[in-house]
Amino acid sequence: MIAKDRALPISLLMLLFALPVQMKALKYAPIYTALTIRANKKLPPHAAYIDSANERNWNHWIEFEQKPKKVLLAGTPEVNQQGPYVLTQKRVLEPIVIRKNAEESVALNSQGFKTATQARQEIEAPNWIRDVVRMPQILDRKPEISIADLRAAKRIAGFIELRDGLAVTNEHHIEVRRSDEGVYREAGHVDLAKGYYSIDVADSSGTILARLVDKAGNVLGEGSFRVAQTPPSERLIYGPRLVVAPNPTWPVSVRSYYAPANSPAKQSPSREQTPTRTTALARELDLPTSQSGESKLENVVRGSSTVVRAAMAGHRVSNKIMVSGKESFDLIAFPDSMIEALKSIVEEPGVLRTELKETTVVWGRVTLDGKPVSGVSVTSETDSEAKAIYFNEFMIPDLKLTSTSTNGMYAFINIQQGFNAILAQRGEAYFGHQNVEVELGAVAIGDIQSSLRTESVKIRAFDAFSGAPVQLTASLQGLTQPVVLEEGVSFVSLAQVPRLSMIYTETDPQYVSANYFYNDQDTYIHLPVISKDWLDRLKAQAKIDQEPDVATIVGFFGEEDFEVYLAGETKNSSAKIVYFDATGNVISKGAAGGGFVMFNVPIKTQEVVVIGTESEKIYSKVVPTDLEATSVLNFTSY
């Protein structure tokens, strides 16, 4: 028998849930751009380490290089040759000519088309970045490619396609390269007339990247695939189609719970269902939003994370931690009446009820490859007192349920404020996780996704300035067991889900305890380890007075010169920023290959924002600061 004081809210909720519901899953397609890296003392230490490690393992190539070279372009006039095309040749990249027909040629990678950063890379880069392989034979529609001249491990060839209005003119060119752990390796060749690409690669790690670049160096479109997705045993591989699509602007779609995706209501929402304000970067960045709730984050670099918040009349403010991706980022706003009805059902009778503006809510759905999953229990690893509420098949909260029903929905009421790590388990087994930012009077969206698709990811730990490998134990949010990096390197298998995740590390006492952050769809994870002595020395050089109950954030940035700040912090903030170069010495402003330290950072969920001096691109990271551990960030655009 239902108590009288609960009959009305239950009836109201049944009416509210009677409308069709469809919570669209967040999708993500990894698209990568390249990291510019330098081969001088500004070189980031992890790249220096990789370079030296590779050189130790390539002695046979060094011996081969010392032998007389044999010209591979037999029958071609010497004036038209670009030198002996061996993999280890050290020289600047020459122009690549793409012939569209007998009358027209489009020169690619010419000096006039390079940005200052691109030109600097090819001049200053390590020898293995400047390696150029021989152009493969011209491909036919039915490729018949010889590998008689192949000196690399394998040759990958396939179709290349421009989509959604992209086109190549004399003002554009296409670059195809392999990137491994953020460093350019080999360059490929594109035949636009025949629609093929071809690239010779030294091993099966990293990603094949294709970018459409204009004369000013702006990336108009890009596409990629992992080399590991190709057959490992073949030397000649007809690889996946390389699709170059317009550079995404991270679209955001805000809608009411009453307006399911793809419904007429979404096309013509009522005034009450129109977002009044959508923000990012700690509410500092207002996102122009259309009447249909469509918005976008422009100039925000791939790999960035931020808390997106949306306000709508008659609804609670909703927020969600966004990890930049190509597909539309959906944010659901929940009506005030729905949250009031939910509170009426779950709050204990006789207990003083909180008002909506004083209530914290987490609301989410558990899915596997986009489909709701039943039998999953959800807990907060941050607030052990919080108890999840599950919804039955009629979409009504049922206090008797101990796990999700067929709709996969769950909620927390009056969970503690701040950053919360939400864990999903099926039985005793890990199923998935999601991190949320809980705020008074708002609903934090905590959709927990999992996937049967996994990828092997290299995780590397090294001294932040010497580049030497460091042994440590890493606990990843997406894994059930800690990973021991015996010689500073290991491989982990991660579900391909776009989300902000954390790593907790334990290492030698000479290094600081540190937390790191990653996206489960990353192709690699780097853990630069920070020496306690270096951090103390930097603090002394900058004359920083340590305040009590504050945190420290260390960031590394290799793309270009930069500025950094804490979003949402005022000029009176206790936080102090110190810049350092690639060798760890204090400098006056942010320089490529160096980084920064933020001392005396207030304890809360922060958003660290880096602005590229030349590109003016925005790189952002959500950081839950910690009194007992230093937060370490890597900023890249790939």
Q: Are strands 154-162 and 236-238 parallel, antiparallel or unpaired?
A: parallel
Q: pLDDT averaged over the chain? A: 79
Least confident of 47-61, 461-475, 620-634: 47-61
Residue 16 φ/ψ region, left for φ over 0, alpha for ψ in the -120 to 50 degree band, beta for the rest: alpha
Q: In the prediction, which pLDDT does 76 show?
A: 41
How is residue 549 annotated by DSSP?
Answer: S
Is a pLDDT exceeding 90 seen at residue 581?
yes
Percent of the chain at pLDDT above 70? Answer: 72
Rg, the chain, Cα only: 27
Is a pLDDT exceeding 80 seen at residue 189?
yes
Grade residue 292 by pLDDT with cuts at 50, 70 and 90: confident
Phi, psi (5° rounding) for residue 320? -155, 140
Bigger pLDDT: 145 vs 152: 152
Q: In the prediction, which pLDDT does 7 show?
A: 55
Q: In the prediction, which pLDDT does 183 show?
A: 85
The three state secondary structure string of 397-443 is EECCCCCCCCCCEEEEECCCCEEEEEEEEECCEEEEEEEEEECCCEE
Q: In the prediction, which pLDDT does 218 show?
A: 79
Q: Please tell me the distance from the alpha carbon of residue 563 to that of residue 613, in angstroms, as a whole number.
A: 7
Bigger pLDDT: 36 vs 345: 345
| Cβ density class 513-538: b for 16+ within 10 Å, e for less | ebbbbbbbbbbbbbbbbbbeebbeeb
Q: What is the pLDDT of residues 407-462, one digit of tens each?
A: 999 999 999 999 999 999 999 999 999 999 999 999 999 999 999 999 999 999 99
Please report, as a single letter, which amino acid is at residue 36.
T
Mean pLDDT, rounded, for 511-525: 94
Distance of CA 317 to the CA centre of its chain: 25
Is a pLDDT exceeding 50 seen at residue 135?
no
Q: What is the pLDDT of residues 560-569, one digit of tens each?
A: 999 999 999 8
Q: Check: CB of residue 321 under 8 Å from CB of residue 436.
A: yes
Q: What is the pLDDT of residues 137-149, one digit of tens each?
A: 333 444 455 566 6
Q: Check: CB of residue 255 under 8 Å from CB of residue 291.
A: no
Q: What is the pTM of this model?
A: 0.75
Least confident of 38-47, 88-97, 213-222, 478-487: 88-97
Q: Please tell me the distance from the alpha carbon of residue 204 to that of residue 367, in angstroms, as a whole number.
A: 32
